[in-house]
Structure 1
Amino acid sequence: MFMSRLTVVAYTFGILCFLASCAFSVFYGYKVVSHDLPAEDQTGEKYNYHFVLVPEELDNDYWRLVEEGAKKAAEEHGVLLEYAGPRQANIDEHLKTIEMSMASKVDGIITQGLSDEQFTPLINRVVEKLPVITIDTDAANSDRMAYIGTDNYYSGFLAGKALIEDTNGQANVAIITGNYYANHQQQRVQGFRDAVESEEGITIITVEESEISRVRAAEKTYQILTDYPEVDAFYGTSALDAIGIAQVVDKFRKQNQVYIIGFDSLPETLKYISKGTIQATVVQEPYEMGYRSVTMMIDLIEGKKVSPVVHTDTRIMRAADLLKRKEDEWEAGR
């Protein structure tokens, strides 16, 4: 009898544990999904519009700056802004987020443009129901309403001209690009190629893909230096590429043996410029892109005229420029 009661107690306890585990799993699963995909506002707060910003990847430092600018504009204009997309660059997850955003009946979608083959048909379908703005990377062949961001071909051309100037037109260059399929990465490579094409002393040895990962960029750099010992210059076309390149060069080569030019002004990039490992970087304006994309979307919805292409500022930053910027900030803070 005692054993029977003990069995019933143990059985009951097991059921309760199972139910508690299920409840936790459902709650946790909801939290994960709601982080990745757009959801209706649950706070009860009133807002004028509901937008979704779909980045290349959620946890990328560059895209966090875009998000920061977009959220600032959203706060100022009474907009509910959701930041949703793939945790790591993935075209299928990116497209899925756009489709689910459309299904959730948001007022507008702000998204990085992707390769024409998969991206354009979807955007054309979305635009029939709600406005779409591309940001950072255009999709010029689609029916998107407007684009705001870098002129990526021009920025690649600037990088090529900077390399020519800094190396006196003598370099064996390896290019590490974020990925092969993205329009903006292709344009940055092509602009660079066109800038150095007429320079007899510059040879592009190889082009490798980092998959938008500093770890992968570092792995590719090590392999390139092993396979092509003649390489004495690197061009990284995404925000994390130059950082990965610099990590390897810092460890295995002397600073004055390898020239590095990259993209963006992330804190780690600036650290390597100050140190002398990275010689130059192409500076974009991700915060401005994010901020202005929200105000442009509001203008579109309210029937105001919006330019179909808005290029944000792009420039080259070297150590001397960084030092001047720090001096200006110090003077402004006095």
Structure 2
Amino acid sequence: MSSVPQDPDNTDWPDSGSEPSRQDLGRLIYASICQVDGPVLDEMRRIRDHAVVNNQAHNIRVALMHRCGWFVEWIEGPPDGIRALMERVALDPRHRSLRVVHESLGKPRLFKPWIGSIAEATESTGEFARRVMALHERHQKGKGYEPASVWRSLCSPLPGHVEVAAASEGSYQRVMLMSAARTDAFDLLRWLATREKRGVVHRRFAGAARDALDVESDYLDLPQQAAAGRRLIANARKGLAMGMTHAFLPDYAALVIVLDTDAERNEHLLDRLLRACQHVAHQPVIVGLGADSWFSDSLRSATEARGLRWVEARTGDRAHDMATLWWALKRVLDALT
């Protein structure tokens, strides 16, 4: 009998185990120049240890990103709690030149007390600052975007200027890749990046104390594919315990499981993925990818029982040939656009 990998199994959105709030909450995103002296990841872990306790006490949820020498923080919760947090941030010597880029009331996206991440970037600090100011100016004019769009525009921008990226992102096809075993999703992404002569963006996420402390997530942009471009995001299995994965599930066109010969592994990952999707209003297509012999009727029936669509990207008898995997998957993704 196989040994199912012992990844964190907490895939429910609310960390308390209760149902997520359906009420509108305050939502605010700001950017500030990072003044941390020393390793940023170590400092973010210290921030996490303090924030997890305090945020839960005030029903505040936070995502904090470091990129290009800047912090970007997304806060959700009662407006009074957000104002109190912003007053503390304004006095925090780790932040300078704070700019609010979004503020609104609306449906929540963050269902963990704290999410932290560090993203590599090829752009300069000055280029990032210009994108911050463009979003800040739009916000001041009352022409801002939804918080998820603002966050992506800063932390994982689409190719092109911030205004172009935000305007076109609604039709930009986002696809998550996860492997039932090994690192097949990441291997496929790297192979495709080499083939397409494009760079892979690497990110590291640190969750709340009970979550996986470090999770890798890579993405590859293919702007010439699909109707308006395609982004493939490879996530580690343990990333299903991360609040940031949950926050952006509604934005995926498809969630792809790179299957394994071990049926138990396939069913275990699918079950965790379906449980993570249970609160998503827009439900993405679930795609199984692999050799014919790796599929089973139980995968389809389990998916459809949860009200989601199951699609199969079959490679015939060929297993781990990356070109075969990609062309089988591409045919399915092209049909979704």
Q: Of Structure 1 and Structure 2, which has the larger fraction of its residues in strand? A: 2
TM-score, normalised on structure 2?
0.32
Q: Give the TM-score of the pair, scaled to structure 1.
A: 0.33
- More helix by percentage: 1
